Structure 1
Amino acid sequence: MEKRYLLPPQVANATIKSGVAKANLPISRIIFLAIFAGMFIGFGAYGDIVIMQTLKNIDVGVMKFFGASVFPIGLMLVVMAGGELFTGNNLMTLALMDKKITLNGLLKNWIFVYIGNFIGSFLLALVIYKTGLLKDAAADLSLGIAKGKVGLTFEVAFYRGILCNILVVLAVWMATAAQDIVSKIFACWFPVMLFVLSGYEHSVANMFFLPMGKLLGLSITWGEIWFNNIIPVTIGNIVGGGIIVPLVYYICYVKPFKEKENVNKDKVLTK
């Protein structure tokens, strides 16, 4: 029977190859794909708001679950339709640890992807606002979400960002392991659903939620949007998705094989 998934060491190698490809993308492609990814995450965030508005007066847990159930469409679109997402690209540090890319290559991708993600998220928020679709209960809910996010302390936003991106990069990891589209959908759905249901913080999603709140009239400044939420969440996302998960998997799935290869090379050279 044909095996329809990759084993963890194979996923690690595929992730490293992907990191090399991402580090060598031209800036124009990075920007366009990142704008798309920001919009994709925004579509999921908007769906989250729409479905939760109908349930907020019934049961909070049910409301969060149904909202969380539609949010993962954003990552599915990124993974399967194509996009450059900052939080997912945090896994590029695996290629950096393996010395397959340089720090400059990593930072070039991250910086331009981050900028593109913000442009895409904000543009989608602006267009949806202009449609007039977000009103009444949906508008109230959107305002409440934005107000709650800017009200977080730096520490709380940071730790929620860590937990969020551990799950997001694990979703990307499992989607890489999956070898057919249905498996990739499920690989994306469960971890992302869980992070939304749990109340963790995703920097790119917040690039949609917070500007939308401001557009709807919430009295917040751009400084509060960035310094109260997006910046600490971004740092947390990097720690969770760019350090914790890649470091553990490098130690477990990459380093042992490299050491074995070096031993074998030494044996060949001594013959």
Structure 2
Amino acid sequence: MNNFFSPVEICDNMVKGCNNKAKLPIGKMIVLGIFAGVFIGFGAYGFTIILAGAGTGFEATIAKLIGAGVFPVGLMLVVICGAELFTGNNLMTLSVFKKEITLGAMLRNWGVVWAANLVGSVLLAFLLSQSGLYGEAMSAKAIGIAEAKVAIPFMPVIIRAIFCNMLVCLAVWMQSGAKDIIGKIFAIWFPIMLFVLSGFEHSVANMFFIPMGIFCGADVTWAQAFLNNIIPVTFGNIIGGAIIIPVSYHFTYAKKAQ
């Protein structure tokens, strides 16, 4: 007996899960969305700790690898403990393609969850900035990350966001194929580690990284945070996670499962 589902079964599992997300009451979406923002922020915080303690050259590369290995805890918490993450919920287009939920129900979920993710991420960033945990090295790293993110030109940031959410949604897809918690952890770990190591852009992670830098004194305005990064990254994430992955798998697996 296999301890994992076939691709067709995974597709069916994903559709059922997306249908349930569309039916969530607004109150639960908000609470679970705030939790997801906090969970992803925890991963981003751990990533910053590792990088802040590193030097340059090969040491910095190793630190980035270790930090990328810590970051996936955020999505593990979202998937295993239960939370609503905008980027993962981009897969809800699968249910729209199968006409099991309406476009309006999907957009309702996306809007509420995106806003709740933002609240959770910014709240965590603010509280950590007041915790005394951000010393000189941590603050300098947080500032550097925020300033670098808002400086990325428009087209590169879109491309990085597309690739990011392809990997995030593939991680969500793979974990749905696992029948045990260890399988889910490994299915999440490697794609997320790869996107962080690659320097791709994740809208919800950046809802933590950039405000954290602002709270630490980065030369970044809130308008720059949204217009230069968070909003274009959100659109890039939608292309990767709501169009490329679901369209491909709906064509190859969902139609066969009907």
After TM superposition, is the score higher than 0.5? yes
CA contact (8 A) 2:175 2:187 kept: yes
CA contact (8 A) 2:144 2:218 kept: no
Deviation at 1:257, TM superposition (A): 3.4
Deviation at 1:60, TM superposition (A): 2.7
Q: How does 1:204-243 map to 2 (within 5 A)?
A: 204-243=204-243
Please tell me whether residue 33 in structure 1 is matched to residue 25 in structure 2.
Answer: no
Counterpart amino acid of residue 41 in structure 1: I
Q: How does 1:155-170 map to 2 (within 5 A)?
A: 155-170=155-170
Structure 2 CA distance, aligned partners of 1:161 and 1:64? 19
User: Which residue does the alignment assign to 2:257?
Assistant: 257
Structure 2 CA distance, aligned partners of 1:217 and 1:55? 21
Structure 1 CA distance, aligned partners of 2:222 and 2:143? 15
- How many residues in Structure 1 have an aligned counterpart in Structure 2? 257
Look up the SS of the partner of 1:229 in the other structure.
Answer: helix
Structure 2 CA distance, aligned partners of 1:96 and 1:124? 33
Structure 1 CA distance, aligned partners of 2:194 and 2:144? 21
Alpha carbon RMSD of aligned pairs, Å?
Answer: 0.9
Deviation at 1:256, TM superposition (A): 2.9
Please tell me whether residue 56 in structure 1 is matched to residue 40 in structure 2.
Answer: no
User: Which residue does the alignment assign to 1:68?
Assistant: 68
CA contact (8 A) 2:87 2:237 kept: yes
User: Which residue does the alignment assign to 1:43?
Assistant: 42
CA contact (8 A) 2:31 2:116 kept: yes
Q: List gaps (5 residues or longer) in structure 2.
A: none
Look up the SS of the partner of 1:133 in the other structure.
Answer: coil
User: Which residue does the alignment assign to 2:18?
Assistant: 19
Deviation at 1:59, TM superposition (A): 2.3
TM-score, normalisation: structure 1:
0.93
Look up the SS of the partner of 2:152 in the other structure.
Answer: coil
Indicate the percent of aligned positions where both proteins have the same amino acid.
Answer: 51
CA contact (8 A) 1:96 1:103 kept: yes
Structure 2 CA distance, aligned partners of 1:122 and 1:16? 31
Look up the SS of the partner of 1:177 in the other structure.
Answer: coil
Counterpart amino acid of residue 206 in structure 2: N
CA contact (8 A) 2:146 2:220 kept: no
Deviation at 1:132, TM superposition (A): 1.2
Counterpart amino acid of residue 13 in structure 1: D
Please tell me whether residue 193 in structure 1 is matched to residue 220 in structure 2.
Answer: no
Counterpart amino acid of residue 165 in structure 1: N
Structure 1 runs of 4+ aligned residues shifted over 3 Å read none
For residues 176-234 of structure 1, the C-alpha deviation after alignment (integer angstroms, 9 at most, x for no partner) is 10111111110110000000000000000000000001101112111100010001110
Look up the SS of the partner of 1:131 in the other structure.
Answer: coil
Q: How does 1:146-185 map to 2 (within 5 A)?
A: 146-185=146-185
CA contact (8 A) 1:40 1:78 kept: yes
Structure 1 CA distance, aligned partners of 2:32 and 2:257? 33
Q: For the structure 1 residues 70 and 26, does the alpha-carbon distance in structure 2 shift closer, same or farther, using more than 3 Å as the test? A: same
CA contact (8 A) 1:30 1:109 kept: yes
User: Which residue does the alignment assign to 1:8?
Assistant: 7
Please tell me whether residue 107 in structure 1 is matched to residue 107 in structure 2.
Answer: yes
Look up the SS of the partner of 2:99 in the other structure.
Answer: coil
Deviation at 1:54, TM superposition (A): 1.5
Structure 1 CA distance, aligned partners of 2:244 and 2:123? 32
Structure 2 CA distance, aligned partners of 1:23 and 1:154? 31
User: Which residue does the alignment assign to 2:91?
Assistant: 91
For residues 127-155 of structure 1, the C-alpha deviation after alignment (integer angstroms, 9 at most, x for no partner) is 10010101111111111100100001111
Q: List gaps (5 residues or longer) in structure 1.
A: 259-271
Deviation at 1:55, TM superposition (A): 1.8
CA contact (8 A) 1:155 1:232 kept: no
CA contact (8 A) 2:12 2:257 kept: no
Structure 1 CA distance, aligned partners of 2:249 and 2:134? 42
